[in-house]
Homo-oligomer: A and B are copies of this chain.
């Protein structure tokens, strides 16, 4: 299941991407329009800023804004920041690899084999989509 954090983060990014003006947008506006707990959204936007997707401005007229163009923002990068590893098990993860404690041999592990295929299928989707591709109206 997709975490609320990721869901809210994606919605916020899409909201910012669909702005005509590039002026900063306040957290409160996004929270209201997308039905998100404002405090929770605060922490999500903060982590998106720290990972280089968003810029921010304090004080009156402040808020968050996209640093890059929507078509330059790959979903692989967004998902890794919001949701964590794209792989469903650490033993097939490109960026977060870890050996399974209980597993004898990856080469003959059926879970490993299946999850490798799943990982590649997901990567294919995330790599071929940018934030711009998700904006509809």
Chain A positions within 8 Å of B, measured between CB atoms, are: 1-2, 7, 10-11, 14, 34-36, 75, 84-85, 88-89, 102-103, 107-111, 113-115, 117-118, 121-122, 124-126, 129, 134-137
**Chain A at the B interface: mostly helix, strand, loop or mixed?**
helix
> What B residues does A111 contact at CB under 8 A?
2, 7, 10-11, 14, 134
> What B residues does A10 contact at CB under 8 A?
110-111, 114
Q: Is the CB of B134 within 8 A of A89?
A: no
> What B residues does A34 contact at CB under 8 A?
102
Q: Is the CB of B110 within 8 A of A135?
A: yes
Q: Is the CB of A110 within 8 A of B11?
A: yes
> What B residues does A103 contact at CB under 8 A?
35
Q: Is the CB of A114 within 8 A of B102?
A: no
